[in-house]
Amino acid sequence: MANKVAQEAFNHLIDDLRATHGANLAAVVLYGSAAAGDHIDQSSDYNLLIALERITPEELRQAQAPLREWRRLGHPLPVYFTTEELRDAADVFPIEFHQMRRARLVLYGNDPFAGLVIHDHNLRHQTEYELRSKLIQLRRLYIPASISVEKLTDLMGESLTSFAALFAPALMLHGVREPPVLKQECVRAAVKHFGLNGEPFERIFALRETGVQPASDAEAHELFASYLAQIEIVTEAVDELRLGAEN
């Protein structure tokens, strides 16, 4: 799950949160790459969800002290929900809730996702919205990144993490009830299901793991073009579900 340093940070944070929130603290949940065993040191974040019975401005102000050290270690601020909001928002954030349900580790309290019903009637719309938004952003960021192999390699590696997470709901929409949890395995499942060219994804994963960059500008730009084309295929496959529903 996490290295010894991170585990100590979790323990200190939970002790501080218990002292701060008392009986109001319902759960602390680690979710995402670290919970899935997909964490890359110095690259992936430790994402936390904190569930309280009630949330007031005073409770949030008091959280500043225990979270100061957590942020100093370079981790993002946790997501705060009330236990009631977790139940009520299951139809609003289906992608995020499915991600948390599939890759989570309860560090404190009761599991807020146990028995939680996640409604999927907004899943297709949210998945297409996220895919198209990130696709547009990828094209925009390619412009400044195209000046160097290093910048372009970083862009592909960082963006693949986001797209790999979105391939899971895309697969679910196409009938795969339980997509793989690990990002690389989920991408491979999408390659098989959507008939993609898997080579650019495998090469980008290898770049992330080894830090070895493409040998030339031409190779880097060719890899990006192939990668972009595969993202466009998945996006259109999700869009076609909308067209099918309308006919």
Q: What is the CATH number of the domain that holds 49?
A: 3.30.460.10
Query: How far from each other are the two terminal CA atoms of the chain, in whole angstroms?
Result: 46
Q: Are strands 79-82 and 104-109 parallel, antiparallel or unpaired?
A: unpaired
Asked if 129 and 242 sit in the same domain, the reply is yes
Q: Which of 159, 158, 229, 242 is nearest to 194 (CA)?
A: 229
Instruction: Judge whether residue 39 has pLDDT over 60.
Output: no
Residue 117 lies in a domain: no
Residues 82, 146 share a domain? no
Q: Which domain holds residue 24?
A: 4-109
Q: Based on the domain organization, do 69 and 181 belong to the same domain?
A: no
Residues 91 and 50 in one domain: yes
Residue 227 within any structural domain of the chain: yes
Q: Render pLDDT for 44-74 as a digit per residue (tens, 0 to 9).
A: 578 899 999 999 999 999 999 999 988 988 8
Query: Which helix (H) or strand (E) is 20 found in, with range?
Result: helix 4-21
Q: How many domains does the chain have?
A: 2
Residues 86 and 138 in one domain: no
Mean pLDDT lowest among 53-57, 66-70, 81-85, 128-132: 66-70
pLDDT tier, 135 (very low <50, low <70, confident <90, very high otherwise)? very high
Same domain, 100 and 134: no
Instruction: Name the domain boundary from 78, 109, 140.
Output: 109
pTM more than 0.95: no
